[in-house]
Amino acid sequence: MSDAPDLQCIAALDQRLLAAVKGIQILPTVAWPASLENRLIADFTAGRFALPEVQYQRPDLGAARTELEAIEREALEQGGALGEYLARTAESWRIAAEMLEVAGSAQVTEPSILLYGRPGDMIPGSGRSNLDAARYFVELSDELGAGLAADDACAGIDAEVLRDEMAHTLDDFFGAGRVKVEVDPELTAKAAAGATRIRLRGGASFNEYDRHQLLAHEALVHTLTALNGREQPLLASLARTSPRVTATQEGLAVFAELMSGAIDIARLQRISLRILAIEMALDGADFVEVYRFFHARGQGVADSFHSAQRVFRGVPTGGGAAFAKDNVYLSGLLTVHTFFRWALKERRLELLRHLFAGKLTLSDVVALQPHFESGAIVPPRWLPPWMQHVHGLAGKLAFSVFVNGIRMGKVHADELSLGV
C-alpha cells in the first residue's frame, strides 16, 4: 500500500494527465459535418452513389504527447497498481493523439486497432474470435428475421419527446438538474453521453427498444460512471473515458441492456454487422460497398449511410482503411459477461460494484482493490437498478454459469420433448 507522499504524487500526476488530454477529442475530430451527411443521404436515396470526400481539421497535439510521455515515465517510476493505472492511461491517450494528428489518412487505421482491437482478435476465455461471434449473431438474427421486421415497425418517438421523458426519469434518479438531456442536430450517433449531459440526434426517430436501451446504456452506465468518477478523492481521471477503457465501458453498457431486458436480437445484429463491415473495409471494400452491405441486410438508406460512416470516420473512403471503435461493443459485452460470471463463482461481488466507481477496465478493478479497501478510491455513489438487487443479478448469472456447460451439439430434439 502506498504511503501519503506517494498518494500525493499520484494525485499530482493525475491532475497533469487531465490537463494534458483536455484538447484530445477523438470522436469530434473524426466526425462528419451534419450538412455533408444530409446532402449525401439525399444523393444515395436518389441512387446517386459516389465516395464521400471529407475534410478533417488535424489538431496539433505535439505538446500533449510530450507531456503524456513524461507522465507515463514518472508513473511507472512510482510503481504499484496506481502507477500502472496512470501509465497505461497516459499511453492510451498518447496513441489517440498520434491517431488524430493523421486524421483523414489511412494511417489512422493502425492506432485505432491498437486502441479498439481487430475483428479477428480472440475473445478472452474462448477459442473463438470477435468475428466468429459477429457472424453467429447475424446468422441467428437472419433465422428470426420475421420477428425483427415486426420490431422495426414500431411507431417512432421524436427526439424532443424522448428528451423530455429521459430528463424526468434522470431527475428522479440522480437528482433534479444534475443531468441535462439535449437534442443535437449535428450529432452523428443516435445518442452520446457525458457526465452531466446526454445528447440525442435531432431529426432521428426512436422506438421503444431505443428508449430503454438509451436509458440503460447511455444514462445508467456512461453518465453514471462519469458522475461516480467525479466523486473520487484521489483519481479525478476516473470521471473521463480514456481510450483504454472504451471496451469495458461499451461492453458494460451493452451488458446493462442485457441485464435490464432492454436489448433485442436486432440490436445484437446491428452491433455484429458493424464488426463485419470493419473487416470488409480492412479487406478493401469502399464506402459505397459497405453502404450496400448494410442496405442489403435490411437497413434503410439513412441508417445504412450512418452505419457505413461509423466505419470510415477519420479514414479515406476508398477502402483498405477503417476506424475500429465499433469492434469493442461485442467483444466488450462477451468479456464483461465472462467477468461477471467469474466474480460470482469466486464470490467477489464487490468487484462488480466497484466497476461502477468510475471509468475503469476489468483489470483495474482487480488491481486497485487494495485502494478501495483503504478508502483512497471510494465505492460508487450510484448503481444502476439491476445492480442494486444483488440476489436477482446472482440468479441470472448463476443460471448463465450452469447452462454454459450444456453442449447443445449433444442435445437432441427428442430429449427436449419431455414425452409430449
Q: Is the pLDDT of residue 319 over 70?
A: yes
Joined grid coordinates for residue 261: 431486458
Q: Report the candidate in 204, 189, 258, 198 with the shortest Cα–Cα distance to residue 222.
A: 198
Joined grid coordinates for residue 326: 465499433
Percentage, residues of the chain above pLDDT 90: 75
Tell me, what DSSP letter sits at residue 237?
G
pTM over cut 0.85: yes
Helices and strands (H and E) in the chain: how many? 21, 5
The average pLDDT across 366-383 equals 97
Q: Are strands 191-193 and 205-206 parallel, antiparallel or unpaired?
A: unpaired
* Beta carbons within 10 angstroms of residue 197's beta carbon: 13
Q: How far is CA 344 from CA 85, 153, 290, 334, in A?
A: 25, 39, 41, 16
Integer Cα distance of 292 and 304 in angstroms: 8
Integer Cα distance of 330 and 133 in angstroms: 8
What sections of 231-377 are H helices per DSSP? 246-259, 265-282, 287-296, 301-311, 328-345, 349-354, 362-367, 369-374
Q: Which long-range contacts (CB under 8 A, 24 or more apart) does 149-155 make?
A: 149/298, 151/207, 151/209, 151/264, 151/266, 152/207, 152/266, 152/298, 154/207, 154/208, 154/209, 155/207
Integer Cα distance of 256 and 213 in angstroms: 9
Q: How far is CA 263 from CA 210, 259, 267, 387, in A?
A: 9, 9, 6, 17
CA 397 to chain centre: 22
Q: Is the pLDDT of residue 411 over 60?
A: no
Mean pLDDT across the chain = 90
pLDDT, tens digit (0-9, with 9 covering 90-100), for 331-351: 999 999 999 988 988 889 899
What sections of 46-105 are H helices per DSSP? 62-78, 80-100
Integer Cα distance of 182 and 160 in angstroms: 8
pLDDT, tens digit (0-9, with 9 covering 90-100), for 17-74: 999 999 999 999 999 998 899 999 999 999 999 999 999 999 999 999 999 999 999 9
Integer Cα distance of 364 and 360 in angstroms: 6
For 139-257, list the strands marked E by DSSP: 157-158, 180-184, 191-193, 197-201, 205-206
Most confidently modeled range among 6-10, 258-262, 279-283: 279-283
